[in-house]
Amino acid sequence: MTSLPKNKPKKKLGLVIDLDICVGCHACAVNCKEWNAGGHSAPLTDIDPYGAKPKGVWFNRIHTFEAVHEETGRSRTVHFPKSCLHCDDAPCVTVCPTGASYKREEDGIVLVNADTCIGCKLCSWACPYGAREYDEDEGVMKKCTLCVDRIYNENLPESSRAPACVTTCPAGARHFGDLGDPSSTVSKIVAKRGGVDLMPEQGTRPVNKYLPPRLKNIDKQKDQSAPRMLTHQDDSSDGAGLLARWVDKLLS
């Protein structure tokens, strides 16, 4: 475990996040905090929680962006949740001097061992995505665990054996599964929707994928005449002609 697992994990558990649906409600972020506050990385300490500069440990955060296309003038608002992407080539693991940061061989989940972490913060410098969370109070690094203490948990009903952020998302914008298996549902969804990597140029090969917003009906709009525009049945400006037609309308 000094470095990344020698045998690249075949199973790549991760999340697929649908930016076409995410309404930016923060439910995933808060339920994540709630589950994990008492979970593997407990607590998720909050500093100055009722004061001037509240800040705490969160494994998942929601940003909101606008993307404005200069040429077409098309503009979109996109809510953007982000947690650890459980990268295949996770730099946060290789920089760690203690081995506290590691990637599980079984399923590719990247975790921190709070018993051996020295709190040097280097992993947080190495992660491009801001997915490492330093707990000032405990002096150790924490991060999204992919709810490792949930997804295999035999004490939970099966419907709960998925990451908290996934089960709680009211819009259904989050999916969880094995992205190493091309026949898995999540892999198929990624293929169908053209799922993307964040900052591929960083070479981290993230497992989590993002489904870009769809332009489903927007292109139709440019063509204001689609669908078939309505034809007016009468052109008298006050509708007198129409009313006359309707006098004889037989309805029962």
Q: Give the binding site for ligand SF4 (CB under 6 A).
A: 22-28, 32, 36, 59-60, 62, 79, 81, 83-87, 90-92, 95-98, 100-101, 110, 112, 117-123, 127, 129, 131-132, 141, 143-147, 163-165, 169, 171, 173-174, 204
Written as six digits, the tokens of 68 are: 């404005």
| Binding-site member from 6, 7, 69, 183 for another protein (CB under 8 A) | 69
The binding track of 28-67 with respect to another protein, each residue x by CB under 8 A or -, is -xxx-xxxxxxxx-xxxxxxxxxxxxxxxxx--xxxxxxx
Q: How far is the CB of 100 from another protein (least distance, A)?
A: 8
Complex with another protein: residue 8 or 63, whichever CB lies closer: 63
The site that binds another protein (CB under 8 A) totals a number of residues, namely: 168
Q: Which two tokens stand for residue 200?
A: 């591929």
Do you know the residue count of the chain?
252
Strand, coil or helix: 83 = coil
Judged by CB under 8 A, does residue 182 bind another protein?
A: no
Report strand pairing: 46-47 vs 55-56: antiparallel
Cβ nearer to ligand SF4, comparing 15 with 187: 15
Cα angle 176-180-184, degrees, rounded to a multiple of 5? 55
Q: What are 163's two structure tokens?
A: 């990451």
Over its C-alpha atoms, the chain yields an Rg (Å, rounded) of 25
Site string for another protein, 118-157 (x = CB under 8 A): xxxxx-xxxxxxx--xxxxxxxxx------xx--xxxxxx
CB of 82 to ligand SF4, least distance (A): 9
What is residue 138's DSSP assignment?
T
Query: Which residue's CB is nearer to another protein, number 8 or number 245?
Result: 245
**Contact assessment for residue 29 and residue 168, using Cβ atoms and an 8 Å cutoff:** no
Q: Which is nearer to ligand SF4, 170 or 227 (CB)?
A: 170
The burial of 119, by beta-carbon neighbours within 10 Å (0-12 exposed, 13-18 middle, 19 or more buried), is given as: middle
Residue 183 interacting partner from ligand SF4, another protein, none (CB closer than 5 to 8 Å by kind) = none
The answer to whether 180 touches 108, Cβ cutoff 8 Å, is yes
- Judged by beta carbon, residue 10 or residue 106, the one nearer another protein is 106
Alpha carbons 92 and 86: distance in angstroms, whole number:
10
Ramachandran angles phi, psi of 229, nearest 5°: -70, 160
Answer with the entry of ligand SF4, another protein, none that 110 interacts with (C-beta below 5 to 8 A by kind).
Answer: ligand SF4
